[in-house]
């Protein structure tokens, strides 16, 4: 189902559907109509919402709340070691980093597909030894990818469980991530 982030595609579909009924509107007018459909004043307000990373979802007419994403925050001590592990070994991309000023703690984001982790050197952010459970599809391929890397500090295996298979890794700071492919009900 589409949501407000698909507004431009929705406007194009609306324009086409109206044209099929011999009702012709311009692209900008169709964008304005979509903004109104979401209960907003105009396209500029909706465009600002779309362009704001992490913006809260617009509630539906019933006021339903939708949680969009969980982003674990891992405590780290060394940005270079974190980059080597999360990007070099696990295959994430270093999305952004922030420091208040030079020689202050790092706060960064790494992503791989829809999965995002925040990494923080700030005291009080995250607890060492945190365990995060990540449901995945293709755990065997992920294991092969990790096994093919020349990373001296970790050689994970695929663990078999009654509920699925997992590859567990521990970062250089003691944080543990369990990438788990759950069994489907038909596999039980």
Range of the domain at 143: 73-187
Tell me how many domains the chain contains: 2
Q: What is the mean pLDDT of residues 83-93?
A: 97
How many beta carbons lie within 10 A of that of residue 73, not counting itself?
A: 18
Q: What is the mean pLDDT of residues 38-47?
A: 76
Answer whether residue 57 is part of any domain: no
Q: Name the token pair of 73.
A: 């925050």
Q: Are residues 160 and 89 in the same domain?
A: yes
Q: Are residues 98 and 166 in the same domain?
A: yes
Segment (H or E) for 8: helix 7-20
Query: Is residue 145 scored above 60 in pLDDT?
Result: yes
pTM: 0.65
Residue 108's nearest CA partner among 79, 135, 136 is 79
Write the CATH number for 157: 3.10.180.10
Going by pLDDT thresholds of 50, 70 and 90, the confidence category of residue 181 is very high
Q: Which residues contact 16 (CB under 8 A, 6 or more apart)?
A: none
Q: What is the mean pLDDT of residues 139-167?
A: 94
Distance CA 114, CA 8 (A): 21
More confident residue, 50 or 22: 22
């Amino acid at each position: 189902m589409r949501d407000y982030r698909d507004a431009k595609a929705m406007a194009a579909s609306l324009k086409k559907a109206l044209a099929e009924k011999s009702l012709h509107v311009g692209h900008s007018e169709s964008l304005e109509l979509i903004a109104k459909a979401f209960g907003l004043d105009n396209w500029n307000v909706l465009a600002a919402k779309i362009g704001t990373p992490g913006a809260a979802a617009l509630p539906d007419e019933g006021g339903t709340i939708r949680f969009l994403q969980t982003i674990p925050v891992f405590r780290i001590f060394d940005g270079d070691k974190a980059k080597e592990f999360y990007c070099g070994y696990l295959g994430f991309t270093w999305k952004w980093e922030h420091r208040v000023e030079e020689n202050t703690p790092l706060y960064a984001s790494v992503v791989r597909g829809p999965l995002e982790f925040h990494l923080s050197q700030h005291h009080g952010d995250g607890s060492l030894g945190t365990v995060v459970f990540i449901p995945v599809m293709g755990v065997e391929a992920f294991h092969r990818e990790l096994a093919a890397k020349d990373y001296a500090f970790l050689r994970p295996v695929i663990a078999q469980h009654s509920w699925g298979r997992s590859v567990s890794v521990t970062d250089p700071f003691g944080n543990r991530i369990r990438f788990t492919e759950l069994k489907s009900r038909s596999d039980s």
